[in-house]
Amino acid sequence: MLFLVGLGLWDEKDISIKGYDIVLNADEVYIEFYTSKLLGTSLEKLKKFFKKDVKVLKREDLEERCYEIINKAKIKNIVVLTPGDPVIATTHLSLKLEAKKSGVDTKIIHSAGITNAIYSLTGLHVYKFGKSATISYPYKNIISRVPIETIKKNREINAHTILYLDLHPKPMTIKEGITLLEKVDDDNILENCYGVGIARAGSDKPVVKCDKIKKLKNYDFGPPLHCLVVLAPRLHFFEFEYLKTFASAPDELESFVD
Amino acid sequence: MLFLVGLGLWDEKDISIKGYDIVLNADEVYIEFYTSKLLGTSLEKLKKFFKKDVKVLKREDLEERCYEIINKAKIKNIVVLTPGDPVIATTHLSLKLEAKKSGVDTKIIHSAGITNAIYSLTGLHVYKFGKSATISYPYKNIISRVPIETIKKNREINAHTILYLDLHPKPMTIKEGITLLEKVDDDNILENCYGVGIARAGSDKPVVKCDKIKKLKNYDFGPPLHCLVVLAPRLHFFEFEYLKTFASAPDELESFVD
C-alpha cells in the first residue's frame, strides 16, 4: 500500500494522529520537499519525532522514477510525506494514478493546506474566490501572462484571486511576485488593485498585510513562504472589517464596501 | 485564549497532534456541529478519546450568545472543536473578530477541509475551479438562483464549480441538490453538464461517481455527507483519465478533452 500523508503547514505537530500512526507502522518512510516546503521544522527533527529514518525524494524520484516507489508499495507499506496537503500538486495525483495502473492502492491522509490558511487569515468569503494561479519565475526570459489574465477575469466577476508563488530554484517573495506581474500588466490594472500579502501561514507569527498592491511590493514580510491575494473590486463589510482588524488594511478600503 | 481547533473530515484521529495537545491542556472544551458534521465518530467517542468532557454548542451559542464563550476565554484556555477546518464558515471568522474586539486572542488550528478532499478525490486541476456555491433548502418556498448562475458563469470561463450542500435541518443529498438546481434551470444548461458526486469524503470508503448530472441524480451514493462538482465544458486529458480510473467516468467524457 502507498500512503501519501500530509504534514500540514508549519512543523512536525501539524500531522494528523491518523497520519502519525500510519508513519509509525510503515515499512519505509520518504519525504519530498519538491511540491512544497515545511519551514517550521527540519528533516532531523522529523526523524526524531517519528523515531524513524526518513529518506528525501527528489522531483525525478516522484516523476520519471516513480515506479521504484510503486514497486516497493506492492509488497510493503510505503509512506510518502509531503508538506501541506498532498493534493494540489499534479505530482501526487499522477503518482496515485500510476500506482493504480500497477495494481497498487493509494491512501491519502489529508492535512491543512495553504488555501485553508489563506481563508482564515484574510477573512475573505470563500464563495468569492475565483480561479487561482501561480506566479512562476520567467522561463527562457518569458514571463507567463496567466496570473495577470486570471486577476483581470476574476475582477470582472468580482472575485478574489489567490496567487501561489514559485518555489524553485528558491521560494519567491511577494516583492518578486508583484515585480513579475507588473512587467506584463499592459493595461495597468494593478494600479487600482488592493491585495493581501501573507507570510509564514500556519506558524505562530504569520504576517498578514492588506494594502494597495503597489505598496505591498515594498512591505517587509520577512522570510518565506509567501503568497498573495488580489482583492475583488467590491468587498462585503465583514471582509473589510476583518482585514482592518487582522491585516492592518488602510481606512480608504472602506470605500470599496458594497 | 480562544482556540478554534479543526477536527478534520471523518473521525477523531483526523485532528492534528498540535490540536490534540491543545485540547488536553484546555480548561474547557466545546464542540459545534452547526457548521459541519463529523459522521465517522460520536460525541461519546470524542470524550473518551480526549479523556475530557466536551460540551455541545448550538448555533445561538456561537452567534448571539458568543460573548459567554469569549468572556470565559478572557481568563481560561477555551477550545471550540469544529468538524472540518474552522475557516469556511463565517460563524468562525465572526467569532474570531468579536473575540478580538473584546481583547481576546484566537488561535486557529487547521485541519483538512472538504475542499482538499474534493481535489484529491476528483483529480481536477486546482487552477480550474471557479467560484463555489451552496445549494440551500428553499427559504419561504423560494429556491436560490445563486448556484445555477455560478455554474453558468463558471462554464463560460471553462471552470469547475464546487457545490456544497445544505446541512439544516438535515444533510442534503446529491439527488435533492440536483432536483433543486433543475427547478431554476430555465435555460436547461444542466442537460449537457457532467458532474462528480462525492459521498463521505475523508472516510475509508468514499463514493465518487462521474456522469451526466441528470444521471447522477439517480445514482445511489449512500448516506451523507454529500457534495457535488459540476465540470467545466473542456477537460485536460489527465482530468479525464483520473475520473475514468477513480470515479468510473463514462468513456464518452473523453470527447470533451482538449
Low-confidence stretches of chain B (pLDDT < 70) are none
Residues of B whose CB is below 8 A from A101: 245
In the predicted model, what is the mean pLDDT of residues A100-127? 93
Domain identity same for A134 and A184: yes
Cross-chain Cβ contact A16/B21 below 8 Å? no
Single residue among B112, B147, B166 that ends a domain in this structure: B112
Domain identity same for A85 and A54: yes
Which of A5, A16, A151 would you mutate first to test chain B, the one with the most B CBs within 10 A? A16
Residues of A whose CB is below 8 A from B111: 16, 111-112
Does the beta carbon of A40 lie under 8 angstroms from any beta carbon of chain B? no
Domain identity same for B142 and B95: no
Single residue among B112, B140, B166 that ends a domain in this structure: B112
Domain identity same for A96 and A162: no
Cα torsion A100, A102, A105, A108 to 10°: value is: -60
Cross-chain Cβ contact A126/B15 below 8 Å? no
Show the beta-strand stretches assigned E in chain A: 2-6, 28-32, 55-57, 78-82, 106-109, 133-135, 161-165, 194-199, 207-212, 226-230
Cross-chain Cβ contact A132/B132 below 8 Å? no
Q: What is the pLDDT of residue A198?
A: 98
Q: How many domains does chain B have?
A: 2
Q: Looking up cell 492535512, which residue turns up?
A: A111
Q: What is the pLDDT of residue B116?
A: 87
In the predicted model, what is the mean pLDDT of residues A168-195? 97
Predicted ipTM of the assembly? 0.94
Residues of B whose CB is below 8 A from A113: 112, 116
Q: With a cut of 80, say whether residue A14 has pLDDT above it.
A: yes
Cross-chain Cβ contact A87/B8 below 8 Å? no
Which of B18, B49, B104, B203 would you mutate first to test chain A, the one with the most A CBs within 10 A? B18
Domain identity same for A164 and A213: yes
The counts of H helices and E strands in chain B are 10, 10
Q: What is the pLDDT of residue A170?
A: 95
Contacts within 8 Å (CB) and 24+ apart, B140-148: B143/B180, B143/B183, B143/B184, B144/B184, B145/B184, B147/B180, B147/B181, B148/B181, B148/B184, B148/B185, B148/B189, B148/B190
Q: What are phi and psi of B236, to 5 degrees?
A: -80, 150
Domain identity same for A149 and A28: no
Name the residue among B223, B212, B222, B224 with its Cα closest to residue B182. Answer: B212
Please report, for the domain that includes residue B197, its CATH number: 3.30.950.10
Does the beta carbon of A7 lie under 8 angstroms from any beta carbon of chain B? no
Domain identity same for B145 and B108: no
User: pLDDT tier at A235 (50, 70, 90 boundaries)?
Assistant: very high
Instruction: Please give the mean pLDDT across all residues of chain A.
Output: 95
Domain identity same for B227 and B183: yes
Domain identity same for B132 and B91: no
Of B8, B17, B100, the CB nearest to A13: B17
- What residue in A sits closest to B153 (Cα-Cα)? A157
Q: With a cut of 80, say whether residue A88 has pLDDT above it.
A: no
Higher pLDDT, residue A87 or A258: A258
Q: What is the pLDDT of residue B39?
A: 87
Residues of B whose CB is below 8 A from A153: 157
Window A:67-86, CB contacts with B under 8 Å: 85-86
pLDDT by residue (tens digit) across B218-241?
A: 999 999 999 999 999 999 999 999
Single residue among B97, B112, B127 that ends a domain in this structure: B112
Tell me the residue range of the domain where A53 lies: 2-112
First to last CA, chain A: 52
Q: With a cut of 80, say whether residue A66 has pLDDT above it.
A: yes
- As a whole number of angstroms, the distance between CA B180 and CA B192 comes to 17
All residues at 6 or more sequence positions from B253 whose CB lies less than 8 Å from its CB, including other chains: B194, B210, B235, B240, B243, B244
Domain identity same for B185 and B172: yes
pLDDT by residue (tens digit) across B131-156?
A: 999 999 999 999 999 999 999 999 99
Domain identity same for A94 and A195: no
Window B:108-147, CB contacts with A under 8 Å: 108, 110-113, 115-117, 119-120, 123, 125-134
Single-letter residue type at B96: K
Q: How far is B192 from chain A (nearest CA, A)?
A: 22
Report the predicted TM-score, pTM, of the whole model to 2 decimal places: 0.95
Q: What is the pLDDT of residue A90?
A: 84
Residues of A whose CB is below 8 A from B153: 157
- What residue in A sits closest to B85 (Cα-Cα)? A116
Q: With a cut of 90, say whether residue A16 has pLDDT above it.
A: yes
Domain identity same for B240 and B134: yes
Please report, for the domain that includes residue B77, its CATH number: 3.40.1010.10
Work out the number of other CB atoms within 10 angstroms of the CB of residue A43. 13
Cross-chain Cβ contact B133/A127 below 8 Å? yes
- As a whole number of angstroms, the distance between CA B138 and CA B177 comes to 11
In the predicted model, what is the mean pLDDT of residues A146-158? 96
User: pLDDT tier at A34 (50, 70, 90 boundaries)?
Assistant: confident
Cross-chain Cβ contact B110/A108 below 8 Å? no
